[in-house]
Chains A and B, each alone.
Chain A
């Protein structure tokens, strides 16, 4: 693993598993919602590390001239990641509204307490 290449990918995977750990462990619903957003950003970081080689320029004509193709960023991953980020925001928005409605009904933000009250009817 050459330094500068694999590091970004490793960091993004560490962050992905860390946010997965946080989602398993948090009993507070607010933390779960925030960590779902964090998980999404770490996956975006992974996609952008595809093809990264240390010195990279964006795929825009005025920056791109005179650089060889290995040093130019991949436009496809960037386009896809803009889509993924915008979808992530819609999802966060809907999640918070559903959480707020649930809070108004049960008056607690704890997963286990809500589950117990839901089972009890």
Chain B
């Protein structure tokens, strides 16, 4: 196992370095995607399948964000500038620009490593969590019990961050009207492979998402990962078919209502002090219902958020 991890870490560093060296934007984005995927696999080898799933999904989404937004820069080399300024830029000393920061960062890095402390880890908290999570919160996945039980407060703000990001993007992009193209189909829409893949994978993606959400408290997975899987179907649909038939305002309202519902459920159950709302003999079932329900809410909210996000991106860029 260790050997695979070493190879993965080396590939990870290599793809990171290659992002810097590349000149064309598309190559940079693809090396970034490889960086994310190799990183996700390395996370899995480090014993965290939840983080690996989240990183793989987010790496894919970040790549799509970059490709959709930077599409117009693909044909150009490096930096875009006007002729007059290009002369001035050629005059600067290439060596000075790269070597001096390199020396600076090397000095910083070596000072950092000089002060690097040894490998002592205090694992008192880890033992507490692993021995108690099943009796305190329920379920069989310790990570779910942490973000839905002990640290629910953090999860609220993470969900809030997504709500605000969606609102921010809607406010900062200046276009409101989406032009629906009639008649002519885009290149990718004419492709048979794309059509076939979408039709074959669509039920799979949604089913997989629902499975991951519902079983988040038993095996690896949870609300975030499942929500991302469900959103991926709608995103593929936008990218391939260019059809804007979902009403974004309603989805935005739905997302915010779901968020308010999450906060209310949290305030009623966890913040009151215990999860024990019902008498003793119903306790295990109640806890499982609570976990599935909260995972579903979180998944629904995340899915709505990402759908709106990508809708805005595609709408901006296709205009």
For A83, what are the chain B residues with a Cβ–Cβ distance below 8 Å?
147, 154-155, 158
B36 near A41 with CB under 8 A, answer yes
For A91, what are the chain B residues with a Cβ–Cβ distance below 8 Å?
165
A58 near B16 with CB under 8 A, answer no
Given contacts A22-B20, A56-B46, A97-B172, A92 and B65 within 8 Å (CB-CB)? yes
> CA A112 – CA B2 in complex, angstroms?
45
Which range contains the number of A residues in contact with the other chain?
A: 35 or more
B168 at the interface (CB under 8 A from A): yes
Interface residue ranges of A62-107 to B (CB < 8 Å) = 62, 64, 69-70, 72-83, 85-94, 96-101, 107
Chain A interface secondary structure, helix, strand, loop or mixed?
Answer: helix
B174 near A109 with CB under 8 A, answer no
B102 near A44 with CB under 8 A, answer no
For A37, what are the chain B residues with a Cβ–Cβ distance below 8 Å?
32, 62
Question: How many B residues touch A, CB cutoff 8 Å?
Answer: 94
For A55, what are the chain B residues with a Cβ–Cβ distance below 8 Å?
1
Interface residue ranges of B111-166 to A (CB < 8 Å) = 112-113, 116, 118-119, 121, 123, 125-127, 129-130, 133-134, 140-143, 145-147, 151, 154-155, 158, 161-162, 164-165
Chain B interface secondary structure, helix, strand, loop or mixed?
Answer: helix
For A20, what are the chain B residues with a Cβ–Cβ distance below 8 Å?
105
B219 at the interface (CB under 8 A from A): yes
A25 near B97 with CB under 8 A, answer yes
> CA A19 – CA B46 in complex, angstroms?
22
B169 near A94 with CB under 8 A, answer yes
B61 near A89 with CB under 8 A, answer yes
B109 near A41 with CB under 8 A, answer no
B121 near A7 with CB under 8 A, answer no
Interface residue ranges of B74-93 to A (CB < 8 Å) = 78-82, 85, 89
Find the A residue at minimum CB distance from B170. Answer: A97
For B235, what are the chain A residues with a Cβ–Cβ distance below 8 Å?
none
B142 near A7 with CB under 8 A, answer no
Nearest chain A CB to B89 CB, angstrom units: 8
B66 at the interface (CB under 8 A from A): yes
B224 near A86 with CB under 8 A, answer yes
Q: A11-B12, A75-B143, A101-B174 are in contact. List 15 more A-B contacts (CB 8 A).
A: A14-B109, A19-B16, A24-B104, A34-B28, A60-B218, A61-B141, A69-B130, A73-B47, A73-B48, A85-B55, A86-B158, A89-B61, A92-B65, A108-B80, A110-B79
- For the complex of A and B, 4 pairs with smallest distance between CB atoms: A75-B142, A73-B47, A61-B140, A56-B47
A residues with CB within 8 A of B: 1-2, 4-11, 13-15, 17-22, 24-28, 30-31, 34-35, 37-38, 41-42, 44-45, 48-52, 54-62, 64, 69-70, 72-83, 85-94, 96-101, 107-110, 112-113
